[in-house]
Structure 1
Amino acid sequence: MIRQVRLSDAAQLVSFKREVSSESKFLLTCPDEVEDIIDQRRMIALYLGDSRRIFLVAEYNNQIIGMITLSGSSRRRIMHKGELGISVRKQFWGKGIGSSLMEECLKIAKQKGFKKIQLEVMSNNNRAMALYKKFGFEVEGVKKKAVFIDNEYVDLVVMGKWLEDS
């Protein structure tokens, strides 16, 4: 089930984020950098109280197994675009969870008047890039050596999708 996040999800989201950040090296956050429950509640409240933000979770057997966020700006020159982030528990990779989250988020983003969605993805994250390309995202640029992980630098690929064409 895909649904809007709730304040009561805070504790479960902290656990989810710690788990996914330890399962995958493709996230920018390390497990020990995940916010605590109080900060998570603040973040959820920020998303719920701002029409320029979207925060959805994927739930299976009452457990959060995926999440997607879209954050827009109130600055007039850039309020047409939103920055997207998505993560899914490794156990559920390849089962359509990411696609379901993406589909619902893009639908809501369009309803809210967003024109463009942008994201950044590590250049070696082929699975995620395939998902984004499936939804019409295109490579717009590369931030060279933007991430340092496992004693090496990795590029961040900037991808974007114009919602008007979809």
Structure 2
Amino acid sequence: MIITEQQFEVKGLRYRIRPAAVRDAEELSALRVQIDGETEYMDRERGEAFLDVPGFEQLIRTDAEKERNLCLVADTGEHIVGFSRCEGSALKRLSHKVDFGVCVLQEFWGYGIGKQLLVQSMAWADGSGILKMGLHVLETNHKAIALYIKLGFEIEGRLRKDKLLGDGRYYDTIVMGRFKEGNMLA
């Protein structure tokens, strides 16, 4: 299923959600480093597991070629302000599901960008025959957890003391999943 560009206007901000293109690699590489440094909700600290421009180019090409992967960006027409990925597996026993991740520049929180990246990814998954979307979220990210539940995700588990944050304390990761409507998995 091909995702078509979607336009949004929220609180005076116009943005669009569209598939990532190879030309986005340089901006995405810098954006990821910036977002990783803005919040402790991400898995990485600023600069960790750095993905350079050729690395992002390859990731975008791979995601475009694999039917179980999707990379979307949110842009304002001037700059990319967020992106999301769904990544599936080539293994037959795992082929029914994808893992979802999202990040948005903190300056652009509150405009529904993360929500729209997720909604578009859910539509793609449902249209692509994917039965389950999974994600991990830090226990303190209450707004994200509430959004995920509102959009049909359920809490499936908790990874105890999974992340060490800047305050020197360990925090749990909440494991969530959403099954495609109309499909009952045993």
TM-score w.r.t. the length of structure 2 is 0.86
Q: CA deviation at 1:62?
A: 2.4
For 1:146, what is the secondary structure of its paired residue?
Answer: strand
Q: Does 2:160 align with 1:144? A: yes
Residue 161 (structure 1) aligns with: 178
Contact 2:36/2:47 (8 A) holds in 1? no
Q: Does 2:136 align with 1:113? A: no
Residue 143 (structure 2) aligns with: 127
**Which amino acid is 1:30 matched to?**
E
Residue 6 (structure 1) aligns with: 21
Distance, in Å, in 2 between the alignment partners of 1:44 and 1:38 is 10
TM-score w.r.t. the length of structure 1 is 0.95
Distance, in Å, in 2 between the alignment partners of 1:2 and 1:32 is 26
Residue 55 (structure 1) aligns with: 71
Residue 8 (structure 2) aligns with: none
Q: Which is further off, 22-31 or 4-13?
A: 22-31
Unpaired stretches in structure 1, ≥5 consecutive residues: none
Distance, in Å, in 2 between the alignment partners of 1:130 and 1:165 is 23
Q: Between Structure 1 and Structure 2, how many residues are aligned?
A: 166
Residue 104 (structure 1) aligns with: 120
Q: CA deviation at 1:13?
A: 0.1
Q: CA deviation at 1:135?
A: 0.7
For 2:136, what is the secondary structure of its paired residue?
Answer: strand
**Which amino acid is 1:108 matched to?**
W
Residue 19 (structure 1) aligns with: 34
CA offsets per residue over residues 69-127 of structure 1, 9 Å max, x none? 10111211111111000111111111111111111111011111100100001111112
Residue 106 (structure 2) aligns with: 90
What percent of counterpart residues are identical?
31
Residue 29 (structure 1) aligns with: 44
Unpaired stretches in structure 2, ≥5 consecutive residues: 1-15
Greater helix proportion: 1
Q: CA deviation at 1:164?
A: 2.4
Distance, in Å, in 1 between the alignment partners of 2:44 and 2:120 is 24
**Higher Cα radius of gyration:** 2
Q: CA deviation at 1:165?
A: 4.1
**Which amino acid is 2:22 matched to?**
L
Runs of 4+, deviation exceeding 2 Å:
none
Distance, in Å, in 2 between the alignment partners of 1:120 and 1:113 is 22
Q: Does 2:75 align with 1:39? A: no
The two structures, once aligned, show a CA RMSD in angstroms of 1.2
